[in-house]
A = this chain, B = another copy of it.
Amino acid sequence: MANNLTKQIDTLRQRSNSQLLRHLKQLSAPKLLEEAIHYSILGGGKRVRPILTYLVTNILGASINLADKPAVAIELIHNYSLIHDDLPAMDDDDMRRGELSCHKKFNEPIAILAGDAIQAFAFEVLAKANDLSYSTRIALISELASGIGGNGMVGGQVLDLSYEKKDVELEKIAYMHSLKTGSLIRSSIRMGGLIAGADPSTLSLLSDFGNTLGLIFQIRDDILDVTGDKAQIGKPKGSDKKKGKATYVTILGEKEATRRLHEQYTIARKLTAELGPDGAVLGELSFFIATRKH
């Protein structure tokens, strides 16, 4: 990966972190809830989704200042979903990013309610993003809300739970992931387009790229689950297999999963090339995600 992109990503990650902190300071809530929210959101994270929004906004020629609030909203949603996914009734994960998950650090009701409050706050941040026109804000809220609901992220989590300990064909697993992980990644990318006032054909291209990047993200995740370093991925190796989860690796094997990862990466480069020379950075980012260690 070009050194230049590493620097750009680091800068955007810092920007995303400081924007999250700034907005969370404006969130007023009972003390314990506030602590749980700050703990869960500010405890680290790659900030891939807000970085995508920033990059797309920039590539399409708009000021990245305009992406600050949408980027916060997207990362808030991602974090609420992690808190709920970790719950005992769901994936039952005690650890997240190498620290105790929210319900272990606090308790289960606080974790449920922290997630609920964070979701509401994400929409509040978008609604109050007064550096964006009303119509842009509505387009962003509409995009995000439909991306994370029953036909998006939450629907994917329902399918994921229903497939546990079952033999499920790859097609179904792929569809599940396209909802569970893919929807929010695609929305993060499309929201950059909406901020910049992209035309329908560019938005459609961004959707395709989002779908491909979501797939890259997921296949790499599945590979890391069997090959990754516990300290780096923040949870024990092989935890998918232990839970009886069908993944790209358990179904296809590591070799074929890796081949499909490369295939999707080739598609990603092709799609980003269509965005012109500035789109190259998204291709490089795809490489970064396809080869990440955690």
- Which residues of A are at the interface with B, using a C-beta cutoff of 8 A? 27-30, 32-34, 37, 84, 87, 89-90, 107-110, 112-113, 115-117, 119-121, 123-124, 126-128, 133-135, 137-138, 141-142, 145-146, 148-152, 154-155, 157-159, 161-162
A127 — which chain B residues lie within 8 A by C-beta? 138, 141-142, 145
Q: What would 8 A/B residue contacts be, using CB atoms closer than 8 Å?
A: A29-B155, A30-B159, A109-B161, A113-B158, A115-B116, A119-B119, A123-B145, A137-B138
> Given A123-B141, A127-B145, is A150 in contact with B112 using a C-beta cutoff of 8 Å?
no
* Protomer copies: 2
Interface centre among A27, A117, A121, A161 (most CB of B within 10 A): A117
> Quick check: A27 and B151 within 8 Å, CB to CB?
yes
Which one of B32, B115, B141, B150 contacts A158 once the chains associate, using CB atoms below 8 Å?
A: B32
Which one of B29, B107, B137, B155 contacts A33 once the chains associate, using CB atoms below 8 Å?
A: B155
> Given A37-B150, A123-B123, A134-B134, is A87 in contact with B113 using a C-beta cutoff of 8 Å?
no
A89 to B135, CA, bound (A): 40
A120 to B110, CA, bound (A): 20
CB distance from A276 to the nearest CB of B (A): 30
Interface of chain A: mostly helix, strand, loop or mixed? helix
A27 to B127, CA, bound (A): 22
Enumerate the 9 nearest inter-chain pairs by beta-carbon distance, A residue then B residue, closest first. A29-B150, A134-B134, A124-B145, A120-B149, A89-B108, A127-B142, A117-B150, A127-B141, A117-B154
A110 — which chain B residues lie within 8 A by C-beta? 158
> Quick check: B33 and A150 within 8 Å, CB to CB?
yes
Which one of B33, B109, B117, B134 contacts A138 once the chains associate, using CB atoms below 8 Å?
A: B134
> Given A137-B138, A142-B127, A142-B128, is A149 in contact with B112 using a C-beta cutoff of 8 Å?
no
A232 to B150, CA, bound (A): 32
